Chain A
Amino acid sequence: MISATTALPSGRRRDRAALTVLTVWHAALCVLLMAGALATLASASALDLLTIALAVVQALLALGSATAAALILRRNHLGRTLSLVVNYVLFLACLIGLAHVLGLFMGLDDLADYMARGVPFLMGALFIVGYFVAATELRERPVPVARRTLGQVLMTIGAIGFALTAGVVPALASIPGKYVSSGLLPLALTAGAVVLGYMLWSMWRGESARAMGAKNIHSERLNGWLFLSPNLLGFTLFFAGPLLFSLYVSFTNWDSFNKRDWVGLDNYRRMFNLTVQPLAAPDQPANQAMDVQVYDELFRVNLLGQSYLIGAEDKRFWISLRNTLVFGLLAVPLAVVPALLLATLLNSRLPGMRIYRTLYFIPSVAAVVGVALIWQWMYNSQVGWINYFITSAVNLINSVFGTNIKDPQIRWLADSDYALLSVVIMSAWQWLGFNTVLFLAGLQTIPRELYEAATVDGANPRQQFFNVTLPMLAPTTLYVLITTTIQALQVFDQVFIVSNGTGGPGTSTLTMTLNLYQNGFQSFRQGYASALAWVLFVVIFAFTLFQFRRQRRASGAYDL
């Protein structure tokens, strides 16, 4: 680094001039942005959320720009930070806008058009994968020079071939044409990006930093935000923003076409609207006991000799809630308990355990859609494997023990009593291997000495398992339980495939997520569907919290 004292006077003058330019730039930018905000508000035909948000963002940036100008004049280092932030945000906006206007994003489709023509893309893909594999392999062991050179030549040829066949050359050549055909906007955006880029560079330079009195810690802060910015952009645009918007939508009756009125809590009211009516007789028709114009019969219950009828305004919500909870209560233990058993066995340090571990893991990498199709075929009640195995087992038992057990001939996915169970089995099967590996990793962190001590104390394997393994495994167990529960409560792909999106037979596989999909994207009650989503969020949150709490109480020693 060059110290400030050695700088030439002429250089210092130039620095001062640069800062003056920046001050003027920010003042101008402030005016421009305020005008932009007003223009946005004025040009919008209706004041929707998007317009307001856009105007507010512009106004905020204008304010930031004005403050930056003032602070630069005072040579306050905050002015530098602010200037960089404002310019950076606008620079990104220009670049993204340019990409959008030039059709860069939509161009992905066209790119795929080209690539779909066959092998070239696969070549390219293999080449990229190969690069990463090679890049990671290189660190571990030295590769002979000859092979490395060969690899380089091959990769270069691959890259050139890929660029030619995948249409990179004509694509690049057509960019100038796009500028011409898309009017002034791309030119303006390019100019904006260039100017902003210059301003950024001008302020980022060490000379400007020194002139503004910025220290190392300040530049570390800026670096921090800079490194985080791509991530933060995604977080804001595709997570936080939509999350807030979703909350807003849940208070409206949006149908995604023309209706979007604020209805307050009406969606939630409708969802939770229940009625409990005493019945004169257990089989009294529902229309005599409650207002069937509003409510549908949910179920009947007998409490202390008095029958009650419980009705709900949105019956399908309650059914989906029940199905989801039942699914979770069945699938989670089924995917966790055998996993623990298998992990304990795999931890026995016998040869070949790695192979088993890999085999168990395979189902969890397969697409749920594909897996559901396989199981759907195996569940086929007439020619499917599962019923065949059951029939064979029953016949075997009957012939060996002379019993007369009847073949159940379960109709799995076609019977509303078994459909949910079928999905439970399928899902547990798919999640089992993942959980096994998690448990195995947890088991391997338990120190051997603990077992040796327990053996010395005379504990048998069972006692060891309950007194050493389980408590030591508590953090893993919690993690496994939470991830599996979150997954189970959001189950969608499986039920969508096996029930054709209906949640059938009857309503037996209608889960909350599927109900949400039906409301949001079949009936287009997007407001109501958003409310459903938030209720699902609360359910998941409650379950996670509950498991945390229980775990804390059970093993207070393990702070999580």
Chain B
Amino acid sequence: MSYRATRIIRAVLIYVILTLFAAIMLFPFLVMLFTSLKTASDTFSYPPRLLPTEQVTVELPGFDRPLPLYYIVVESGETKPMALVEENIRVGIFAPLDAAGRPDVNNTVIRRFGEVKVAGGATPKEVVVGGQAVPVYEVEVNGAIAEMVVLTRTVFGRFINPANPNETAMANVRLSQPVTRVTAHPENYAAVVNLLGFDRALTNTAMITILTVIGQIVTSVLGGYAFARLKFPGRDQLFLLYLGTVMVPFVVLIIPLYQLMVVIGWVNAMPALILPWLYTAYGTFLMRQFFITIPKEIEEAALIDGASRWSILMRIFIPASAPALATLATFTFLYAWNSFFWPLVVVNTGNTRAQVLTLALNVLRGRASDSPNLILAGAAIAIIPPTIVFILAQRYYVESVTSSGVKG
């Protein structure tokens, strides 16, 4: 095999594997999007369908409501779309008795109970089958009357051919395949918004996220600059302490933080979702790592020119650190937008004034437990904005996610 061929095969293989994984990574989101456009009953269909569909109906003269269409196998063996005109028709499956007095299961016929009558007239005729006395019916088969017994009772639907209303058929409705067409129900989104005040949750989440992002950028830039460029006693020890905090799980803080909110009186209110998160060891670390790479000479020249530390930070450092700022902003955005544990503890889920999206979703899954389409529409509302932010910012974000971590 030539070198070129090997390379092509290798490339194809790589693409196949990558595409497979891409499908795995994206499929749940596709399920979310398509399910959120379905009707509730459509979500329960099996085998599952990705696209939202609905049953096709026809208007027929003589019927006051639209009739659902099903694919029905008619007597000729053909499968035709037919309209369901009557449901729950009680029918029996009748079988003649064979020579041994047992029902002949190979020659069964289906008849409505109204079409048959009990044999024997005034004294109903009975035969013993399997140790039990069962009534015998007179059933018309191909113009002739035969004596038969009931094998089972069930219910059927009556279908007519919309093109030829004289052609009718009887079949089990549940097992018949409905005629469907692709549709979409974007009004699910409006329903979700109305159901739980998702609009308020969206506003709150957006506001919390933006304020947290701004606040974290301010504290991190200032702190990062101090750690990177200013000498003061205790700086290095403090920095190590900051680094150590990354290891402390959030749950250790949750009870004291909650109690702190109780003391201040912020339980159930938005400041509890913003102010404790304005400080971030991670962001300080990220900005410090970035500021350290900026040449000292520029700063020294500015100092000699009489510039204050503040103006150096604003005029030299911040303009130069757009990628780091974008990374920090994206990180904080995602964190603030998606946080769940802390809001769950500190905000009452019924309090719509301080509701955030994740909490609203948690309530929604209970209140709309019977409508997966609505739940997933809610999930989409929560998931799509951060995805858009990420795609816009990924140029910076993905590339510098690692730079800080790997170095440290």
Contacts and interface: CB of A to CB of B under 8 A. Distances in A.
Partners in one complex: yes
Interface string B195-217: 00001100110110011000000
Given A357-B398, A377-B35, A479-B405, A227 B15 contact: no
Contacts of B28: 363, 371, 374-375, 378, 429
Interface string A97-122: 00010000110110111011010011
A231 B279 contact: yes
B340 A238 contact: no
Contacts of A274: none
Given A228-B227, A438-B402, A537 B252 contact: yes
Given A246-B256, A377-B375, A108 B231 contact: no
A238 B259 CA distance: 11
Given A112-B200, A367-B386, A361 B398 contact: yes
Contacts of B226: 223-228, 231
Interface residues of A, number: 117
A197 interface: no
B301 interface: no
Nearest to B239: A228
Contacts of B354: 109, 112
B274 A348 contact: no
Residue of B204, B341, B405 most packed against chain A (CB within 10 A): B405
B210 A370 contact: no
A368 B340 contact: yes
A268 to B, nearest CB: 14
A89 to B, nearest CB: 16
A235 interface: yes
A511 to B, nearest CB: 11
Contact of B207 (A115, A224, A357, A520): A115
Interface residues of B, number: 119
Contacts of A365: 334, 338, 386-387, 389-390
Contacts of B48: 383-385, 388
Interface in B369-391: 372, 375-376, 378-380, 382-383, 386-387, 389-391
Nearest to A100: B264
A90 to B, nearest CB: 19
A476 B402 contact: yes
Contacts of A537: 248-249, 252
A357 B25 CA distance: 11
A367 B219 contact: no
B222 interface: yes
Given A112-B204, A342-B18, A370-B382, A544 B247 contact: yes
Nearest to A1: B306
Interface string B338-357: 10110011000000011001
A173 interface: no
Given A106-B269, A223-B309, A432 B25 contact: yes
Interface string B79-119: 00000000000000000000000000000000000000000
Nearest to A370: B379
Nearest to A350: B11
Given A227-B226, A245-B259, A530-B255, A374 B31 contact: yes
B390 A224 contact: no
A126 to B, nearest CB: 10
Contact of B247 (A223, A231, A540): A540
Contacts of B240: none
Residue of A108, A241, A486 most packed against chain B (CB within 10 A): A108
B255 A533 contact: yes
Contacts of B270: 108-109, 112
B338 A437 contact: no
Contact of A112 (B207, B260, B389): B207
Contacts of B45: 383
B394 interface: yes
Contacts of A346: 18
Nearest to B397: A361
Given A377-B35, A437-B401, A235 B319 contact: no
Interface in A349-371: 350, 352, 356-363, 365-371
B256 A113 contact: no
Contact of A246 (B26, B255, B279): B255
B22 A438 contact: no
Residue of A228, A356, A441 most packed against chain B (CB within 10 A): A228
Contacts of A433: 25
Given A112-B353, A433-B25, A235 B242 contact: yes
B37 interface: no
B394 A490 contact: no
A544 B387 CA distance: 31
A384 B28 CA distance: 11
A230 interface: yes
B276 interface: yes
A187 interface: no
A215 B399 CA distance: 42
B232 A221 contact: yes
A56 to B, nearest CB: 17
11 contacts: A227-B313, A235-B245, A249-B255, A345-B14, A366-B338, A369-B340, A371-B379, A377-B375, A378-B28, A442-B402, A445-B406
Give 3 nearest A-B pairs by CB, closest first: A234-B279, A224-B232, A231-B223
Interface of B: 11, 14-15, 17-18, 21-22, 24-29, 31-32, 35, 43-48, 199-200, 203-204, 206-207, 210-211, 218-220, 222-223, 225-227, 230-233, 235, 238, 242, 245, 247-257, 259-260, 263-266, 269-271, 274-279, 281, 284, 306, 309, 313, 319, 322, 325-326, 329, 334, 337-338, 340-341, 344-345, 353-354, 357-358, 361-362, 365, 372, 375-376, 378-380, 382-383, 386-387, 389-392, 394, 398-399, 401-403, 405-406, 408
Interface of A: 1, 50, 100, 105-106, 108-109, 111-113, 115-116, 118, 121-122, 125, 128-129, 132-133, 135-136, 139, 217, 220-235, 237-239, 241-243, 245-246, 249, 256, 338, 342, 345-346, 348, 350, 352, 356-363, 365-371, 373-375, 377-378, 382-385, 388, 429, 432-434, 437-438, 441-442, 445, 475-476, 479, 483, 486, 489-490, 492-493, 496-497, 513, 516-517, 520-521, 526, 529-530, 533-534, 536-537, 540-541, 544
Given A129-B210, A438-B406, 6 more contacts: A109-B354, A221-B230, A365-B387, A374-B379, A378-B31, A526-B255
